[in-house]
Amino acid sequence: MKHQRIIVSHYGGPDELRVVEEECPEPKDGEVRVRVLAAGVSLPDLMMREGIHPETPPLPFTPGWDLIGVVDRLGDGISGLEPGQIVAALPISGAYAEFVCLPQRELVPVPPGLDSAEAVSLVLNYVTAYQMLHRSAKVRSGQRVLIHGAAGGVGSALLQLGRLAGLEMYGTCSSRGASTVSDLGGIPIDYQHQDFVKEIYRLTGEGVDVVFESIGGTHIWRSRKALRPGGTVVAYGLTSSLREGRLASGRSGSRHRFRAIAIFGLYIAGG
Q: Which domains does the chain have, with CATH numbers?
A: 2-120 (3.90.180.10), 123-237 (3.40.50.720)
Q: Which of 101-115, 150-164, 168-182, 217-231 has the lowest mean pLDDT?
A: 217-231
Distance of alpha carbon 35 from alpha carbon 97, whole angstroms: 8
pLDDT at 227: 97
Q: What is the mean pLDDT of the chain?
A: 91
Percent of the chain whose pLDDT exceeds 70: 88
Which residues, listed in sequence order, are joined to residue 208 by a DSSP beta bridge?
227
H or E element, residue 87: strand 86-89
Percent of the chain whose pLDDT exceeds 90: 76
Q: Is the pLDDT of residue 250 over 70?
A: no
pLDDT at 39: 98
Distance of alpha carbon 70 from alpha carbon 87, whole angstroms: 6
Q: Sort residue 245 into left (φ over 0), alpha (ψ -120 to 50) or beta.
A: left
Is residue 207 within 8 Å of residue 226, measured between CB atoms?
Answer: yes
Q: Which whole number is the average pLDDT over 136-145? A: 98
pLDDT at 237: 77
Q: Is the pLDDT of residue 249 over 60?
A: no
Q: Which of 4-8, 70-74, 141-145, 234-238 has the lowest mean pLDDT?
A: 234-238
pLDDT at 77: 96
Residue 23 is which amino acid?
E
Segments in 132-258 forming alpha helices (H): 153-164, 178-183, 196-204, 219-224
pLDDT in tens, 51-80: 888 889 999 999 999 999 999 999 999 999
pLDDT at 254: 59
pLDDT at 225: 96
DSSP string, 196-230: HHHHHHHHHSS-EEEEEE-S-TTHHHHHHTTEEEE
Q: Is the pLDDT of residue 145 over 70?
A: yes
Residues 6+ apart with CB under 8 A from 35: 69, 70, 72, 98, 99
Distance of alpha carbon 1 from alpha carbon 53, whole angstroms: 33
pLDDT at 217: 76
Helix (H, G, I), strand (E, B) or coil at 68: strand
Give the C-alpha distances (Å, rounded to integers) separating 263 from 52, 218, 229.
12, 10, 26
pLDDT at 218: 80
Residue 36 is which amino acid?
V
pLDDT band per the 50, 70, 90 thresholds, residue 112: confident
Q: Which whole number is the average pLDDT over 17-46? A: 96
pLDDT band per the 50, 70, 90 thresholds, residue 243: low
pLDDT in tens, 188-225: 999 999 999 999 999 999 999 999 998 887 888 899 99
pLDDT at 68: 98
Q: Is the pLDDT of residue 269 over 70?
A: no
